[in-house]
Amino acid sequence: MREVAIVAFGQSHHRRDSAEVSEVEMLMPVLHQVLDAVGLRAGEIDFTCSGSSDYLAGRAFSFTMALDGVGAWPPISESHVEMDGAWALYEAWTRLLTGEADTALVYSYGKSSPGDLREVLTRQLDPYYVAPLWPDSVSLAALQAQALLDAEDAEDTGADERALAAVAARSRTAAEDNPHAQVTGSPPPETLLDDPYLVRPLRRHDCPPVGDGAAAVVLAAGDTARRLCRRPAWIRGMDHRTEAHSLGVRDLTRSPSTRLAAERAGAFEAPADLAELHAPFTSQELILRRELGLGEGVRVNPSGGALAANPMMAAGLIRLGEAAAAIHRGAADRALAHATSGPCLQQNLVAVLEGDVL
Protein backbone atom coordinates (compact mmCIF):
# COMPACT_ATOMS: atom_id res chain seq x y z
CA MET A 1 0.00 0.00 0.00
CA ARG A 2 1.15 3.54 -0.76
CA GLU A 3 2.40 5.65 2.10
CA VAL A 4 0.52 8.93 2.51
CA ALA A 5 1.42 11.74 4.89
CA ILE A 6 0.23 15.11 6.08
CA VAL A 7 3.08 17.42 5.02
CA ALA A 8 1.73 20.85 5.93
CA PHE A 9 -0.91 22.35 8.21
CA GLY A 10 -2.23 25.86 8.60
CA GLN A 11 -5.12 27.53 10.37
CA SER A 12 -6.61 30.96 10.85
CA HIS A 13 -6.91 32.82 14.12
CA HIS A 14 -10.28 31.67 15.34
CA ARG A 15 -12.51 34.53 16.40
CA ARG A 16 -16.04 35.11 17.61
CA ASP A 17 -16.88 37.29 14.66
CA SER A 18 -15.19 37.88 11.31
CA ALA A 19 -17.87 39.97 9.61
CA GLU A 20 -15.28 42.05 7.73
CA VAL A 21 -14.22 39.12 5.56
CA SER A 22 -16.13 36.72 3.35
CA GLU A 23 -15.48 32.99 3.59
CA VAL A 24 -12.96 33.02 0.76
CA GLU A 25 -11.22 36.08 2.20
CA MET A 26 -10.90 34.29 5.54
CA LEU A 27 -9.69 31.11 3.91
CA MET A 28 -7.16 32.40 1.40
CA PRO A 29 -4.33 33.30 3.80
CA VAL A 30 -4.57 29.78 5.25
CA LEU A 31 -4.34 28.21 1.79
CA HIS A 32 -1.27 30.34 1.02
CA GLN A 33 0.26 29.34 4.34
CA VAL A 34 0.16 25.60 3.58
CA LEU A 35 1.10 25.93 -0.08
CA ASP A 36 4.07 28.15 0.82
CA ALA A 37 5.15 25.62 3.42
CA VAL A 38 5.62 22.97 0.73
CA GLY A 39 6.64 25.35 -2.06
CA LEU A 40 3.68 24.53 -4.30
CA ARG A 41 1.51 26.93 -6.22
CA ALA A 42 -2.25 26.68 -6.72
CA GLY A 43 -2.59 24.59 -9.85
CA GLU A 44 0.26 22.25 -8.93
CA ILE A 45 -1.95 20.23 -6.57
CA ASP A 46 -3.39 17.00 -7.99
CA PHE A 47 -6.58 16.86 -5.94
CA THR A 48 -8.50 19.35 -3.81
CA CYS A 49 -11.18 18.48 -1.26
CA SER A 50 -13.08 20.75 1.11
CA GLY A 51 -15.58 20.60 3.95
CA SER A 52 -18.12 23.28 4.85
CA SER A 53 -21.86 23.72 5.43
CA ASP A 54 -24.58 25.65 3.64
CA TYR A 55 -26.53 25.94 6.90
CA LEU A 56 -23.73 28.00 8.43
CA ALA A 57 -23.51 30.27 5.39
CA GLY A 58 -27.29 30.51 4.98
CA ARG A 59 -27.17 29.88 1.26
CA ALA A 60 -27.04 27.01 -1.20
CA PHE A 61 -23.83 25.74 -2.83
CA SER A 62 -21.84 28.11 -0.63
CA PHE A 63 -18.65 26.09 -1.09
CA THR A 64 -18.41 27.19 -4.73
CA MET A 65 -17.57 30.74 -3.58
CA ALA A 66 -14.57 29.49 -1.63
CA LEU A 67 -13.26 27.67 -4.69
CA ASP A 68 -11.99 31.01 -6.04
CA GLY A 69 -9.34 30.79 -3.35
CA VAL A 70 -7.75 27.62 -4.73
CA GLY A 71 -7.42 28.78 -8.33
CA ALA A 72 -10.19 26.63 -9.79
CA TRP A 73 -9.65 27.85 -13.37
CA PRO A 74 -8.56 26.15 -15.55
CA PRO A 75 -10.59 23.23 -14.15
CA ILE A 76 -9.09 21.28 -11.27
CA SER A 77 -9.88 17.88 -9.79
CA GLU A 78 -12.02 18.85 -6.84
CA SER A 79 -14.56 17.45 -4.39
CA HIS A 80 -16.53 18.67 -1.39
CA VAL A 81 -18.11 17.12 1.69
CA GLU A 82 -20.91 18.80 3.60
CA MET A 83 -19.09 17.85 6.81
CA ASP A 84 -16.06 18.66 8.86
CA GLY A 85 -12.87 18.84 6.81
CA ALA A 86 -11.60 15.70 8.58
CA TRP A 87 -13.94 13.77 6.29
CA ALA A 88 -12.62 15.71 3.28
CA LEU A 89 -9.16 14.58 4.38
CA TYR A 90 -10.41 11.01 4.47
CA GLU A 91 -11.63 11.31 0.89
CA ALA A 92 -8.33 12.85 -0.23
CA TRP A 93 -6.39 10.09 1.57
CA THR A 94 -8.30 7.39 -0.30
CA ARG A 95 -7.69 9.26 -3.57
CA LEU A 96 -3.96 9.26 -2.91
CA LEU A 97 -4.03 5.58 -1.93
CA THR A 98 -5.47 4.73 -5.35
CA GLY A 99 -2.41 6.27 -6.98
CA GLU A 100 -4.49 8.75 -8.98
CA ALA A 101 -2.84 11.68 -7.24
CA ASP A 102 0.45 12.40 -5.47
CA THR A 103 -0.60 15.57 -3.68
CA ALA A 104 -3.86 16.84 -2.24
CA LEU A 105 -5.01 20.09 -0.70
CA VAL A 106 -7.69 19.71 1.98
CA TYR A 107 -9.37 22.70 3.55
CA SER A 108 -12.43 23.55 5.54
CA TYR A 109 -13.98 26.60 7.07
CA GLY A 110 -17.03 27.80 8.91
CA LYS A 111 -18.40 31.14 9.96
CA SER A 112 -20.85 30.65 12.80
CA SER A 113 -21.15 34.38 13.46
CA PRO A 114 -23.89 35.18 10.89
CA GLY A 115 -26.43 32.83 12.48
CA ASP A 116 -27.43 31.38 15.84
CA LEU A 117 -25.30 28.24 15.93
CA ARG A 118 -27.40 26.44 18.53
CA GLU A 119 -30.42 26.81 16.25
CA VAL A 120 -28.56 26.13 13.03
CA LEU A 121 -27.34 22.77 14.34
CA THR A 122 -30.91 21.61 15.06
CA ARG A 123 -31.34 21.29 11.29
CA GLN A 124 -29.04 18.26 11.22
CA LEU A 125 -31.39 16.27 13.45
CA ASP A 126 -34.00 13.67 12.50
CA PRO A 127 -36.69 15.79 10.79
CA TYR A 128 -39.65 13.64 11.87
CA TYR A 129 -39.29 13.09 15.59
CA VAL A 130 -36.59 15.47 16.82
CA ALA A 131 -35.98 18.60 14.72
CA PRO A 132 -39.58 19.89 15.17
CA LEU A 133 -38.78 20.25 18.89
CA TRP A 134 -35.75 22.49 18.14
CA PRO A 135 -33.45 20.92 20.76
CA ASP A 136 -30.28 23.00 20.60
CA SER A 137 -26.78 21.57 20.50
CA VAL A 138 -25.85 22.54 24.07
CA SER A 139 -29.00 20.89 25.46
CA LEU A 140 -28.28 17.64 23.63
CA ALA A 141 -24.72 17.62 24.95
CA ALA A 142 -26.12 18.28 28.42
CA LEU A 143 -28.32 15.17 28.17
CA GLN A 144 -25.19 13.19 27.36
CA ALA A 145 -23.23 14.77 30.22
CA GLN A 146 -26.01 14.00 32.73
CA ALA A 147 -26.13 10.40 31.51
CA LEU A 148 -22.39 10.15 32.17
CA LEU A 149 -22.71 11.68 35.66
CA ASP A 150 -25.59 9.34 36.55
CA ALA A 151 -24.07 6.18 35.07
CA GLU A 152 -23.54 3.23 37.38
CA ASP A 153 -19.85 3.22 36.41
CA ALA A 154 -19.38 6.96 37.01
CA GLU A 155 -16.87 6.13 39.74
CA ASP A 156 -14.75 4.19 37.24
CA THR A 157 -14.74 7.02 34.73
CA GLY A 158 -14.25 9.59 37.47
CA ALA A 159 -17.15 11.49 35.96
CA ASP A 160 -18.26 14.24 38.28
CA GLU A 161 -18.68 17.96 37.76
CA ARG A 162 -15.21 18.65 39.11
CA ALA A 163 -13.69 16.27 36.55
CA LEU A 164 -15.51 18.13 33.80
CA ALA A 165 -14.19 21.45 35.10
CA ALA A 166 -10.69 19.97 35.21
CA VAL A 167 -10.91 19.13 31.52
CA ALA A 168 -11.93 22.72 30.76
CA ALA A 169 -9.18 24.23 32.91
CA ARG A 170 -6.48 21.98 31.49
CA SER A 171 -7.55 22.61 27.87
CA ARG A 172 -7.77 26.37 28.12
CA THR A 173 -4.54 26.62 30.08
CA ALA A 174 -2.81 24.58 27.36
CA ALA A 175 -4.27 26.93 24.75
CA GLU A 176 -2.14 29.75 26.14
CA ASP A 177 0.63 28.33 23.94
CA ASN A 178 -1.62 28.26 20.87
CA PRO A 179 -1.64 31.61 19.05
CA HIS A 180 -4.70 30.57 17.01
CA ALA A 181 -6.96 29.73 19.95
CA GLN A 182 -10.10 31.73 20.61
CA VAL A 183 -10.29 31.20 24.38
CA THR A 184 -7.14 30.91 26.49
CA GLY A 185 -6.42 30.68 30.19
CA SER A 186 -8.67 29.44 32.96
CA PRO A 187 -9.25 29.73 36.68
CA PRO A 188 -8.70 26.48 38.59
CA PRO A 189 -11.50 23.87 38.46
CA GLU A 190 -12.73 24.65 41.98
CA THR A 191 -13.39 28.25 40.94
CA LEU A 192 -15.12 27.20 37.74
CA LEU A 193 -17.63 25.24 39.78
CA ASP A 194 -18.91 28.50 41.28
CA ASP A 195 -20.30 29.52 37.87
CA PRO A 196 -24.01 29.12 37.14
CA TYR A 197 -25.24 26.40 34.82
CA LEU A 198 -25.80 27.20 31.15
CA VAL A 199 -27.91 24.09 30.53
CA ARG A 200 -27.58 21.91 33.61
CA PRO A 201 -25.30 20.01 34.12
CA LEU A 202 -23.15 22.04 31.70
CA ARG A 203 -21.64 25.36 32.67
CA ARG A 204 -20.18 27.76 30.14
CA HIS A 205 -16.68 26.31 30.61
CA ASP A 206 -18.00 22.85 29.66
CA CYS A 207 -18.99 24.16 26.23
CA PRO A 208 -16.91 25.20 23.23
CA PRO A 209 -16.63 28.80 22.12
CA VAL A 210 -18.68 29.72 19.06
CA GLY A 211 -16.45 31.15 16.38
CA ASP A 212 -15.28 31.55 12.83
CA GLY A 213 -12.21 29.90 11.38
CA ALA A 214 -10.53 27.94 8.64
CA ALA A 215 -7.86 25.26 8.32
CA ALA A 216 -5.95 23.52 5.56
CA VAL A 217 -3.53 20.63 5.16
CA VAL A 218 -1.47 19.28 2.30
CA LEU A 219 -1.25 15.52 1.82
CA ALA A 220 1.44 13.84 -0.24
CA ALA A 221 2.36 10.27 -1.11
CA GLY A 222 5.68 8.44 -0.73
CA ASP A 223 8.79 10.20 -2.01
CA THR A 224 6.82 13.33 -2.84
CA ALA A 225 6.03 13.62 0.86
CA ARG A 226 9.70 13.18 1.76
CA ARG A 227 10.66 15.88 -0.73
CA LEU A 228 8.07 18.37 0.57
CA CYS A 229 8.52 17.85 4.30
CA ARG A 230 11.53 17.14 6.53
CA ARG A 231 9.51 14.82 8.75
CA PRO A 232 6.19 13.82 7.17
CA ALA A 233 3.34 12.73 9.45
CA TRP A 234 2.53 9.35 7.90
CA ILE A 235 -1.09 8.29 8.07
CA ARG A 236 -0.76 4.67 9.30
CA GLY A 237 -4.50 4.14 9.40
CA MET A 238 -7.77 6.04 9.34
CA ASP A 239 -11.39 4.98 9.73
CA HIS A 240 -14.74 6.58 10.47
CA ARG A 241 -17.93 5.10 11.88
CA THR A 242 -21.37 6.32 12.86
CA GLU A 243 -23.96 5.60 15.54
CA ALA A 244 -27.71 5.07 15.09
CA HIS A 245 -29.32 8.45 14.46
CA SER A 246 -31.87 8.19 17.24
CA LEU A 247 -30.36 9.42 20.52
CA GLY A 248 -32.74 7.26 22.55
CA VAL A 249 -31.41 3.95 21.20
CA ARG A 250 -27.81 4.80 22.10
CA ASP A 251 -25.96 4.45 25.38
CA LEU A 252 -24.87 8.07 25.46
CA THR A 253 -22.07 7.31 27.92
CA ARG A 254 -20.26 5.17 25.36
CA SER A 255 -18.93 5.74 21.87
CA PRO A 256 -18.67 2.36 20.16
CA SER A 257 -18.16 4.07 16.80
CA THR A 258 -15.01 5.74 18.12
CA ARG A 259 -13.69 2.48 19.49
CA LEU A 260 -14.38 0.63 16.24
CA ALA A 261 -12.86 3.37 14.09
CA ALA A 262 -9.77 3.38 16.33
CA GLU A 263 -9.46 -0.38 16.13
CA ARG A 264 -9.70 -0.32 12.31
CA ALA A 265 -7.22 2.53 12.14
CA GLY A 266 -4.72 0.49 14.16
CA ALA A 267 -4.80 2.74 17.18
CA PHE A 268 -4.47 -0.14 19.64
CA GLU A 269 -1.45 -1.74 17.97
CA ALA A 270 1.03 0.53 19.77
CA PRO A 271 0.74 3.26 22.37
CA ALA A 272 0.50 6.86 21.21
CA ASP A 273 2.36 9.69 22.90
CA LEU A 274 -0.10 12.39 21.91
CA ALA A 275 -3.84 12.57 21.14
CA GLU A 276 -5.80 15.40 19.61
CA LEU A 277 -9.44 14.69 20.46
CA HIS A 278 -12.36 16.59 19.00
CA ALA A 279 -14.42 16.85 22.17
CA PRO A 280 -16.41 20.08 21.99
CA PHE A 281 -17.91 19.40 25.43
CA THR A 282 -15.87 18.45 28.50
CA SER A 283 -17.94 15.33 29.18
CA GLN A 284 -17.13 14.05 25.69
CA GLU A 285 -13.40 14.00 26.44
CA LEU A 286 -14.03 11.55 29.31
CA ILE A 287 -16.05 9.32 26.97
CA LEU A 288 -13.41 9.42 24.24
CA ARG A 289 -10.52 8.77 26.63
CA ARG A 290 -12.21 5.60 27.82
CA GLU A 291 -13.02 4.33 24.33
CA LEU A 292 -9.50 5.03 23.09
CA GLY A 293 -7.91 3.58 26.22
CA LEU A 294 -5.78 6.68 26.78
CA GLY A 295 -3.71 6.47 29.93
CA GLU A 296 -2.05 9.19 31.93
CA GLY A 297 1.07 8.99 29.77
CA VAL A 298 -0.67 10.38 26.70
CA ARG A 299 -0.68 14.15 26.20
CA VAL A 300 -4.28 15.01 25.32
CA ASN A 301 -5.04 18.19 23.38
CA PRO A 302 -1.88 20.21 24.02
CA SER A 303 -3.40 22.64 21.50
CA GLY A 304 -6.30 23.30 23.84
CA GLY A 305 -8.67 21.29 21.67
CA ALA A 306 -12.19 22.26 20.70
CA LEU A 307 -12.79 23.85 24.11
CA ALA A 308 -10.33 26.57 23.09
CA ALA A 309 -11.53 26.97 19.48
CA ASN A 310 -14.30 25.06 17.74
CA PRO A 311 -14.84 26.54 14.27
CA MET A 312 -17.59 24.37 12.82
CA MET A 313 -16.45 22.19 9.90
CA ALA A 314 -12.78 22.95 10.63
CA ALA A 315 -12.28 21.84 14.25
CA GLY A 316 -11.96 18.15 13.33
CA LEU A 317 -9.49 18.84 10.52
CA ILE A 318 -7.54 20.98 12.99
CA ARG A 319 -7.17 17.95 15.29
CA LEU A 320 -5.52 16.04 12.43
CA GLY A 321 -3.44 19.09 11.58
CA GLU A 322 -2.30 19.72 15.16
CA ALA A 323 -1.34 16.07 15.60
CA ALA A 324 0.61 16.15 12.32
CA ALA A 325 2.32 19.42 13.20
CA ALA A 326 3.52 17.90 16.47
CA ILE A 327 5.14 15.13 14.44
CA HIS A 328 6.58 17.62 11.93
CA ARG A 329 8.40 19.48 14.69
CA GLY A 330 9.48 16.35 16.53
CA ALA A 331 7.21 16.86 19.53
CA ALA A 332 5.49 13.50 18.94
CA ASP A 333 6.36 10.21 17.27
CA ARG A 334 2.97 8.49 17.23
CA ALA A 335 -0.22 10.48 17.57
CA LEU A 336 -3.94 9.81 17.50
CA ALA A 337 -6.27 12.31 15.90
CA HIS A 338 -10.03 12.19 16.36
CA ALA A 339 -12.80 14.18 14.72
CA THR A 340 -16.51 14.18 15.45
CA SER A 341 -19.62 15.42 13.75
CA GLY A 342 -23.28 15.54 14.70
CA PRO A 343 -24.98 15.59 18.12
CA CYS A 344 -23.52 13.69 21.10
CA LEU A 345 -20.53 12.23 19.20
CA GLN A 346 -22.69 10.78 16.45
CA GLN A 347 -20.00 10.30 13.80
CA ASN A 348 -16.38 9.68 14.67
CA LEU A 349 -13.15 9.50 12.72
CA VAL A 350 -9.83 8.27 14.07
CA ALA A 351 -6.43 8.53 12.41
CA VAL A 352 -3.06 7.18 13.50
CA LEU A 353 -0.09 9.37 12.53
CA GLU A 354 3.60 8.51 12.84
CA GLY A 355 6.90 10.20 12.10
CA ASP A 356 10.00 8.41 10.87
CA VAL A 357 12.62 7.91 13.56
CA LEU A 358 15.34 10.37 12.57
Partner 1 sequence: MTPAPSPEVLQAPLVVEFPFTRSLGPVQSAFLTGLRERTVLGVRTTDGRVLVPPVEYDPVTADELSDLVEVAPTGTVTTWAWNPASRRGQPLDTPFAWVLVRLDGADTALLHALDAPGPDAVRTGMRVRIRWAEERVGAITDIACFEPYDGAEGGEAVPHSGEFTDPVTGIVAPARLDYTYAPGRAQSRYLKALGDRTTQGERCPSCRKVYVPPRGACPTCGVATDEQVEVGPRGTVTTFCIVNIKARNLDIEVPYVYAHIALDGAGLALHGRVGGIPYDQVRMGLRVEPVWSEDSRYPDHYRPTGEPDADYDTYKELL
- Contact footprint for partner 1 (CB under 8 A): 19-25, 28, 31-32, 41-43, 55, 58-59, 65, 67-74, 113-116, 118-120, 122-123, 127-136, 139-140, 142-147, 150, 197, 199-202, 244-249, 252
Q: What angle do CA 212, 214, 220 make, to 5 degrees?
A: 165
**197 closest CA partner among 253, 142, 117:** 142
For partner 1, the closer CB: 58 or 330: 58
Inter-helix orientation angle 282-292/161-174, to 10°: 90
Report in angstroms how near the CB of residue 151 gets to partner 1 at its nearest.
9
Report in angstroms how near the CB of residue 140 gets to partner 1 at its nearest.
8
Residues β-bridged to residue 105: 48, 218
Pair type for strands 47-51 and 233-242: unpaired
Report in angstroms how near the CB of residue 210 gets to partner 1 at its nearest.
14
| Cα–Cα distance, 88 to 226 (Å, whole number) | 23
For partner 1, the closer CB: 115 or 237: 115
For partner 1, the closer CB: 129 or 268: 129
Report in angstroms how near the CB of residue 168 gets to partner 1 at its nearest.
18
Residues ≥6 apart with Cβ < 8 Å to 117 = 56, 137, 210, 312
For partner 1, the closer CB: 55 or 234: 55
For partner 1, the closer CB: 25 or 195: 25
For partner 1, the closer CB: 116 or 190: 116
Report in angstroms how near the CB of residue 332 gets to partner 1 at its nearest.
31
| Cα–Cα distance, 137 to 148 (Å, whole number) | 17
Cβ atoms 191, 180 nearer than 8 A: no
Cβ atoms 217, 6 nearer than 8 A: yes
CA distances to 85, 125, 250 from 343, rounded to whole Å, are: 17, 8, 12
Report in angstroms how near the CB of residue 133 gets to partner 1 at its nearest.
6
